Structure 1
Amino acid sequence: MSFKMQADARLIWEAGLGAVDPERLATGAVSVVAGKLIIGAHSFELDAIERIAVVGAGKAGRAMAEAIESILGPELIAEKNLSGIVNVLDKDAGKLSRIVLNGSRPTASAFPTPEGQAGTESMLDIVKSLHDNDLAICLLSGGGSAMMPAPVTGVSIDAKRKVTKLLSEAGATISQLNTVRKHLSRVKGGRLAEQCSAGALVSLIISDVVGDRLDTIASGPTAVDKTSFADALRIVENPAIFDRVPKEVLNHITKGANGAIQETPKSLPPSIINLVLGNNVVALAAAEEQASRLGYNVLNLGSRIEGEAREVAVVLAAIALSIKHESKPLRPPVCILAGGETTVSGVAPGGKGGRNQELVLAALEHLSGWGMDGILIWSAGTDGEDGPTDAAGAFADESIMNAAHRQGLIPQHYLAESRSYDFFGKAAGHIKIGPTGTNVMDICIILVS
């Protein structure tokens, strides 16, 4: 039964991941038909376009850029003098026919790099050089915020890296992180769109944030910003980090909050178009369909799961126990699906893991007193990364619990030491798939047989 459930969980996971493949999403949204470039519900006469430029950043950058060049084809690429630069993971760096793929960070880092900054400066040069009869296409996906750094004057990239690290370690949400990033940047928070002189700018977006907020995905370089310097100031004034925030960061944000620096744009012209091509909802729908085909009754909890990983884990484990022992709210076999992005705060010194591994370990700890016969929990990041580790996440079932017992591994102790990675390494519960080339947050799958 354990092996069957593991196989089922993997099939459900792969169905969700396949639904948000960047090439598949871009190809479904962009086409050339009868002399027109169709992007979503928008149509552009190709005869009226003199030049097409592509910019952007994110983990799906390479696949999306490849799709754009494939859709346009060699003839249009030459005719429209296609050019551009997209900041991508180091492993995806290179050059396509015309689009440069600029390696801007290693997979295990969530912090800005000088290489990313150089690429972003090139993007600014490109969008500023465009004219009314040109079209700009911006490709945005998870990781785009860290990969598109352009610090404001007076704030170094090292200072941005430090404040990002401090906030991450303090358990800041992606929305909080991006609020601060936007107010330290010359491109985020709508500022890239503000500087684009093309007749139209269309952003193709794969969402990695809860609720698909355009001002939060990749820190919203082409979207109206709903946050303010005052919001950013409240976030960096967190007592847990305040005395370690770089002075240049604090000075800039304080000046902005006092009205001495212009706010991020609160309106943009209708020529700025943002289209969300894929998100966690799409992935969960495909996972739900696959689970139903495998014979499970499905309880889809949606894509807005947030909060401390340990606390979310207890709730999910409790639902699994209710299904197993009381057949409520559904009769087994059941597949529970949950999407979103939890956080981990208060990491112990020397700890290693990620939010998904922490969630599964906390669920295992909660279930250990009841037994895991007939229950499997699987949680992983759709980008193939979970924190600063080489695992996408972890799974736990009766076989993992038995392996832990044989080795004397006590979940509670590993949780207290923030060592979820070590626990699952010893118990053989890691999910390791490598970078996936997409990112729509996390998918948690719980099977009750």
Structure 2
Amino acid sequence: MTQYSAKKQDLLRIIDSAIHAVSPEIAMQNTLKRTGDILTVEGTEYDLTSYERIIVVGAGKASASMAKKLEELLGDLLHGGIVATKYGHGLELKKTWVMEAGHPVPDMAGQRASKDILGIAKGLTENDLVFCLLSGGASAIVPAPREPVTLQDKQATTRALLECGATINEINAIRKNLSLFKGGHLAKALEPATVITLIISDVIGDYLDVIGSGPTAPDESTFLDCQAILDKYALCSGIPEAVTTIIAAGCAGEAPETCKAGDKCFERVQNVIIAGNAMALTGAAKTAQELGYTPILVDAAIQGEARDVAKKLVEKAIATCGEHSEDTRICLLYGGETTVTIKGNGKGGRNQELALAAGIKLLGAECRERIALACVGTDGTDGPTDAAGGLIFPDTVTERGERAAREHLANNDAYHFLSNVGTILKTGPTRTNVMDIAIVLVGPNEPKMTASSLQHHAHDAIR
């Protein structure tokens, strides 16, 4: 385990606070205010007794937790409904049917969930109120491919987009235009009911049409945008023919676009963002300050290749060392979401790769003893792994271990390197999702711990 136990404990406390700040329960409680039969949502009042039925639908990694809070708030007024979430993120609820499905690659369980949710929509009237609960992961969790695209076509397309390093905005633009659920189509299906969509944002800029691929929001993407994305990554020959065919038809005006602003299906829809990355960073900053650090928000919109971002994080940390005395305690905060272009066959995720690349970059820094960092996916799942991210300390990548570190990074195998040195970060499902955070601590050197001290603190090791 690392000898830098004080910085490790500080990082873990800051991470816990960041994730707690965006818990679905807190976000729902802060957004929904009920006084008797009147529910107020961001200034809009709803008389709950004026509706024949109150239904809940939703999708995403936080949807089950959001539905649980909604059940507590509405009690017997809630008639029931369906939410879909990622495997391992479900909860047993009293009135809401929770379905689990695949993420990030969609599967048949997700297709069934989207079909069932759309089935609920068919029987709604203008006297019904629908709560739509959306969070990160919804795009993959509820696939509803439009003909001639099949689920297998969407799976292959999703894998290709993930492997080439496409951004979440680009991936969702493709998903929306291949779907009967996304891009405003759910809003159209729910007509003429009143719809309150509560959203936990996992995208930079909190764009309504990108979060969960915008099932109840006007869509700004077009088939021309989709074609440009395929051209950008040279994917036209690497994805199923049905996908390229429908995109080509859309570009030629021979296939209908997604629902756009001004469509009457949005007239009775209120979209509300109840949590996002900024709230997580605020929570992190508060705890960092309590621990004696001066929090500095460096960048709330990091994006790009994880290895390139890692370089910037370390360069900023080194510069901070030079600007402040050795006894100063600084916490540099970052939010956003990086990407990884997969070239190897190892195991990892964008946060683990960012962490390992930062550890390698930190190796040559004169002030490395003063720096520690964490890169974390707030949903508790980094890429196709059971880890949330990774921690880096001055002794995580050593001169002796540099070659192995570089070999693991080249093979996109950060998971196994970080596991071997004991700095993989595992939180389990957090049931929320507001992208990623990176925390860089710059502080005084810690005294080296003796072998007996290390043994005493072994129970704190991240397994």
TM-score tier, shorter chain, comes to over 0.9
Q: Partner residue of 1:44?
A: 46
> 330-339 or 275-284, which moves further after superposition?
330-339
Q: Unpaired segments of 5 or more residues in structure 2?
A: 444-463
Distance 1:400 1:114 in 2: 41
From the superposition, tell whether residues 239 and 293 of structure 1 become closer, same or farther in structure 2 (CA, over 3 Å). closer
| 1:375 and 2:382 correspond | no
Distance 2:365 2:442 in 1: 14
Distance 2:25 2:401 in 1: 44
1:69-88 correspondence to structure 2 within 5 Å: 69-74=71-76, 76-77=77-78, 82-88=79-85
Q: Partner residue of 1:392?
A: 388
Q: Unpaired segments of 5 or more residues in structure 1?
A: none
How high is the TM-score relative to the length of structure 2? Answer: 0.91
| 1:264 and 2:258 correspond | yes
Q: For residue 240 of structure 1, report the CA deviation from its aligned partner.
A: 3.9
From the superposition, tell whether residues 380 and 313 of structure 1 become closer, same or farther in structure 2 (CA, over 3 Å). same
Distance 2:95 2:410 in 1: 51
Q: For residue 54 of structure 1, report the CA deviation from its aligned partner.
A: 0.9
Q: For residue 417 of structure 1, report the CA deviation from its aligned partner.
A: 2.0
- DSSP-derived class of the 1:357 partner: helix
Q: For residue 99 of structure 1, report the CA deviation from its aligned partner.
A: 1.1
- DSSP-derived class of the 2:334 partner: strand
Q: Return the letter of the residue paired with 1:260.
A: E
| 1:35 and 2:32 correspond | no
Q: Return the letter of the residue paired with 1:359.
A: L
String of CA shifts for 1:210-265, please: whole Å, max 9, x gaps: 11010000000000101101101111234543211100011011101110111111
Would the aligned equivalents of 2:64 and 2:89 in 1 still touch at CA under 8 Å? yes
Q: For residue 405 of structure 1, report the CA deviation from its aligned partner.
A: 4.7
1:251-290 correspondence to structure 2 within 5 Å: 251-267=245-261, 268=263, 269-290=266-287
String of CA shifts for 1:271-298, please: whole Å, max 9, x gaps: 1110000000000011111111111111
| 1:309 and 2:306 correspond | yes
| 1:230 and 2:224 correspond | yes
Q: Return the letter of the residue paired with 2:373.
A: I
In the alignment of these two chains, the number of paired residues is: 437
- DSSP-derived class of the 2:7 partner: helix
Q: Partner residue of 1:176?
A: 170
Would the aligned equivalents of 1:136 and 1:198 in 2 still touch at CA under 8 Å? no
Distance 2:423 2:143 in 1: 36
| Equivalent position to 1:362, from 357, 360, 367 | 357
Q: For residue 432 of structure 1, report the CA deviation from its aligned partner.
A: 0.8
Percent identical:
39
1:312-327 correspondence to structure 2 within 5 Å: 312-327=309-324
Q: Partner residue of 1:440?
A: 434
Would the aligned equivalents of 1:284 and 1:302 in 2 still touch at CA under 8 Å? no
Would the aligned equivalents of 1:135 and 1:198 in 2 still touch at CA under 8 Å? no
Distance 1:151 1:442 in 2: 29
1:1-400 correspondence to structure 2 within 5 Å: 2-74=4-76, 76-77=77-78, 82-93=79-90, 96-105=93-102, 109-267=103-261, 268=263, 269-327=266-324, 332-345=328-341, 347-371=342-366, 372-400=368-396
Distance 1:178 1:53 in 2: 26
Would the aligned equivalents of 1:307 and 1:342 in 2 still touch at CA under 8 Å? yes
Q: For residue 429 of structure 1, report the CA deviation from its aligned partner.
A: 1.2
Q: Partner residue of 2:452?
A: none
Q: For residue 93 of structure 1, report the CA deviation from its aligned partner.
A: 4.2
Distance 2:257 2:150 in 1: 20
Distance 1:98 1:423 in 2: 44
Would the aligned equivalents of 2:133 and 2:197 in 1 still touch at CA under 8 Å? yes
- DSSP-derived class of the 1:242 partner: coil
- DSSP-derived class of the 2:219 partner: coil
Distance 1:408 1:312 in 2: 19
Would the aligned equivalents of 2:201 and 2:273 in 1 still touch at CA under 8 Å? yes
Q: Partner residue of 2:454?
A: none
- DSSP-derived class of the 2:198 partner: strand
How high is the TM-score relative to the length of structure 1? Answer: 0.94
Distance 1:410 1:169 in 2: 23
Would the aligned equivalents of 1:205 and 1:278 in 2 still touch at CA under 8 Å? yes
Distance 1:144 1:208 in 2: 10
RMSD over aligned Cα, in angstroms?
A: 1.7
From the superposition, tell whether residues 94 and 60 of structure 1 become closer, same or farther in structure 2 (CA, over 3 Å). closer
Would the aligned equivalents of 2:89 and 2:429 in 1 still touch at CA under 8 Å? no
